[in-house]
Structure 1
Amino acid sequence: MTDDILTPRLRLSRPVEGDLDALFTISADPRVWTHYPSLRHQRPEDTRAGMARWEASWARAGLGSWVVRLRSSGEVIGNGGCTLLGDAVWNLGYRLSADHHGNGYATELAFAAVEQARAVDPDRPVIAYLVEHNHASAKVAEKVGLELVHRAPDAGNPDPSVWRLVYADRPLDPAHRAAVSL
């Protein structure tokens, strides 16, 4: 799956090195990380490492995170899609520019990502791994048909009061649960 995916308002493209600066600018913005501030990117190398993980998913499974552009202008507004997690599940995720929150872009992206994941490997579950106080992400997961399958303290989070939620498109067997450390 290397061709761009077009949704009504978005162009979803496999990332290339030339996307680094725009993606770093988004990932370095503290407004984008209000739900998990310790993960905010401090250096372009942080973003490059994320891009390497996405590329590894593309190479191993034929699908990974996309660069998200507005079709109307070509502006990069983030990244997202389904990436391989633990060689067992598709992890639905996205990071969009704070200036573009609240416009339904995450939902539009998520529907396209789930559709592509099911086309590439329908036997692999689709999950969304998020923190409980991120209500907007939970709503997106629910809109694309995922259901809450796990809730527990978020191990390793610098804020011990944070709870981790995992949504999935089906019940997770022990191998799937191990892949997402449940």
Structure 2
Amino acid sequence: MSAADPSEITTDRLLLSRPVPGDLAAVFRIHADPRVWTHFPSLRPSDPEEIETMMARWRRSWERAGLGTWTVRLRETGEMIGNGGCTLLAPDPDDPAAHVWNLGYRLSADHHGHGYATELARAARTAAAGIAPERPVIAYLVEHNRASAAVAEKAGLTLVHRAPDAGNPDPAVMRLVYADRALTDAQLATALR
């Protein structure tokens, strides 16, 4: 992997690539599957425009920070099985002290439980360290999504924050923030947006 150009990375089993507009339909198909939203069903997208908006955020991260979310394909077959990586969260572009890398991963339900998310997450942390090692890597998730928490932990992140999930339709749900280091108040605020 080259820190100078992480737009295409191969791991033992995966091909991680900077998304292109032609990926929209496959990304939507994965995100629209209710099986990948069992932990937060109300977030499941129902319109490809929602995925276009999400992919525009990924594009901005690639343009601004040189790293963002990848599409994830199996090396052996080329099948797209999801997306993930480290995307820049920068609420104020002029205040780099609040910037964090958001480690995210969403894989098709048919490919859960094979270690692909962990493989992806470790590659993303390595790429983020090659681009901006001073920027913390965080992962935020709801507490009952134990599989996602396990991936964050296997990728070397530790729990740094637990509180009610503001705005969640279920007031009992707790939001967890994992990070690769202690966060400043500004960085934590970015993670909780």
| TM superposition score category, shorter chain reference | over 0.9
Task: Give 1:1-182 correspondences, 5 Å limit.
Answer: 1-86=5-90, 88-181=99-192
TM-score w.r.t. length of structure 2: 0.92
Q: Deviations over 1:99-139 (max 9, x none)?
A: 00000000000000000001000000000101000111111
TM-score w.r.t. length of structure 1: 0.97
Count of residues in Structure 1 that have an aligned counterpart in Structure 2: 182
CA distance in structure 2 between the aligned counterparts of 1:91 and 1:74, rounded to whole angstroms:
26
CA distance in structure 2 between the aligned counterparts of 1:147 and 1:64, rounded to whole angstroms:
22
User: Contact 1:86–1:180 at 8 Å: present in 2 too?
Assistant: no
CA distance in structure 2 between the aligned counterparts of 1:60 and 1:179, rounded to whole angstroms:
17
Any unmatched runs of 5+ in structure 1?
none
Runs (4+) of structure 1 exceeding 4 A deviation are none
Residues 66/53 of structure 1: CA separation in 2 closer, same or farther (3 Å cut)? same
Residues 58/3 of structure 1: CA separation in 2 closer, same or farther (3 Å cut)? closer
Residues 3/91 of structure 1: CA separation in 2 closer, same or farther (3 Å cut)? closer
CA distance in structure 2 between the aligned counterparts of 1:66 and 1:122, rounded to whole angstroms:
19
Shift of 1:181: 3.1
CA distance in structure 1 between the aligned counterparts of 2:89 and 2:185, rounded to whole angstroms:
14
Give the alignment's Cα RMSD to 1 decimal: 1.1
CA distance in structure 2 between the aligned counterparts of 1:81 and 1:119, rounded to whole angstroms:
13
User: Contact 2:7–2:67 at 8 Å: present in 1 too?
Assistant: no
CA distance in structure 1 between the aligned counterparts of 2:71 and 2:7, rounded to whole angstroms:
12
Q: Deviations over 1:61-94 (max 9, x none)?
A: 1100000000010000000000011250000001
User: Contact 1:5–1:13 at 8 Å: present in 2 too?
Assistant: yes
User: Contact 1:152–1:164 at 8 Å: present in 2 too?
Assistant: yes
CA distance in structure 1 between the aligned counterparts of 2:159 and 2:139, rounded to whole angstroms:
9
Kindly provide the amino acid, as one letter, of the partner of residue 125 in structure 1.
P
CA distance in structure 1 between the aligned counterparts of 2:190 and 2:27, rounded to whole angstroms:
27
Shift of 1:13: 0.3
